[in-house]
Chains A and B, each alone.
Chain A
Amino acid sequence: MGVLVRVPELTLLIVLSLACYAASAIFALAQPDAAVSLGSILTLTVASFVLSLVIAIVAVVAGIGGGVIFTPIVLGFTSLDTLVVRATGLVVAMFSGLISAAPLLKQGLVDIRLVYVCALPTIIGGLGGAVAAFQLASIMGPSGDALVRLLLGLLLLMVALIFVRGGRRHDYPQAKPATGVAAILALDMSYYEVSLQSQVSYKIRRLGWAMGLFVVVGFVGGFFGLGGGWAMVPVLNLVMAVPLKAAAASSGVLLALGNAAAIWPYIVYGALVPLLVAPWMLGQVIGGVLGAHLLSRVKVAVVRRLLIVMLCLTAIKLIHRGLQGLGVVP
């Protein structure tokens, strides 16, 4: 808990959050007429805050964005409108990235040049995805939505399989001379790997391909409210040859920037409910800082194992929902 001493503003935010919910609880108890209903809303709010905190820590360490954990869980276990869940999912996906950017950039795990270059196609794709979510909802209907979920789940399983079979060579990909767009931008980077006690250098490769993939990742993330961190790590690591830990850290920062435009169509159409979103946002902010401080101390193999488990769980959930939507399973 040394982080609470080192980051006093985080401690202050935690105390203020707890004080806010405690004051609201006392107020609810003091009003017998409204106590039952307001008490239930408060319980839901505090439970959302705690769950969001846990999701944020796991998401930052795994570099996947919390949306991919939040959205399937909430879509699976509640009767909330899917657009409301997707809007909240985008907030969950981006806020741990917003707050964890500073410690990760300070530690040197993330290079801002890589973030700016990759964010451009992600923002364009994300914005398109969010607009398409509303435009296509009436055209595609539930069966089209189910088919896309099914394909997404299968894609995730393939990515998890690549991570399982990939071995150590993807932890620290061999630095090869850059070609094409990557060579023009001269994106040579390095970071200090605490577990190896040495500097790890890497060169960005296949940037053109990666830009195309980021448009797709952004679109899917914006459309489903999943964010996109789950696919950003494989693109950064397997396509662009970014070491796994740097890829996991960069994806969170990239996710925050990439979804900053996609959230606005959801706000306009009333799918973002402020009082519902608030505890999720606060949990992500506090959990994001805690997760970022934990990340530099975690070994790459642990991050990879976490990633594989997360990808598999999400894939199973998506496939099940997809098959359910198509009427294949009850």
Chain B
Amino acid sequence: MSAGKNYGTVLYWGTMLGSVIVLLGSLMGLMLGLSWMPLQQQYDLLLSGQQLASVPLAQWRYYASADGVILIGLGCAILSLVPAILGSLPRLWRSGARLVAVCGLLNAALILGAVASAIN
């Protein structure tokens, strides 16, 4: 399997998994009303042009709510980029595209850096 196909496959299944988690979160919010802030209150604020409060990323309790589960799904899809990149690098390195492999590594580092600064 080429580096590109390897990258695409990991990303594809990571995004599919993320989508199922997002669906689960949507069900929790729309059917069970397990949202972090009451659903109708959220929409009232949004439709009147206001922003919601900052997301408490460091609070574990948040991830038991519909909003938290959806965020986990989104994060799962977005962060699948990191293993997708890392998995493709050995093949690129061996094929002689070493500078390109370094670029890939830097891309993964930048994404992880953005996530780390968000959590902190």
Q: Which residues of A contact B (CB under 8 A)?
A: 9, 13, 16-17, 20-21, 23-24, 27-28, 34, 37-38, 41-42, 44-45, 78-81, 83-84, 91, 94-95, 98-99, 101-106, 110-113, 116-117, 119-120, 123-124, 127, 184-185, 256-257, 260-265, 267-279, 281-282, 285
Contact = CB atoms under 8 A, between A and B. Distances in A.
A269 B54 contact: yes
A94 B53 CA distance: 24
A260 B100 contact: no
The main secondary structure of chain B at its interface with chain A is helix
Nearest to B79: A260
Interface string B7-22: 1110110011001101
Contacts of B25: 274-275, 278
Contacts of A285: 15-16, 19
Contacts of A102: 5, 8-9, 11-12
Interface in B85-120: 85, 88, 92, 97, 99-101, 103-104, 106-107, 110-111, 113-115, 117-118
B64 interface: no
The main secondary structure of chain A at its interface with chain B is helix
11 contacts: A24-B31, A42-B30, A112-B4, A112-B88, A264-B115, A264-B118, A267-B71, A272-B71, A276-B42, A278-B23, A278-B70
Contacts of B59: none
Given A80-B49, A271-B51, 5 more contacts: A24-B31, A34-B40, A261-B114, A273-B42, A277-B74
Contacts of A123: 107, 110-111
Interface of B: 2-5, 7-9, 11-12, 15-16, 19-20, 22-23, 25-27, 29-31, 35, 39-40, 42-43, 46-55, 57, 66-68, 70-71, 73-74, 77-78, 80-81, 85, 88, 92, 97, 99-101, 103-104, 106-107, 110-111, 113-115, 117-118
Nearest to A9: B16
A219 B86 CA distance: 25
A275 B81 contact: no
Contacts of B114: 127, 260-262, 264-265
B29 A275 contact: yes
Given A20-B27, A104-B8, A105-B4, A274 B107 contact: no
A80 B30 contact: no
Nearest to A276: B46
B70 A274 contact: yes
Nearest to B54: A270
A23 B55 CA distance: 28
B74 A282 contact: no
A137 to B, nearest CB: 11
Contacts of B39: 38, 41, 275
A184 B99 contact: yes
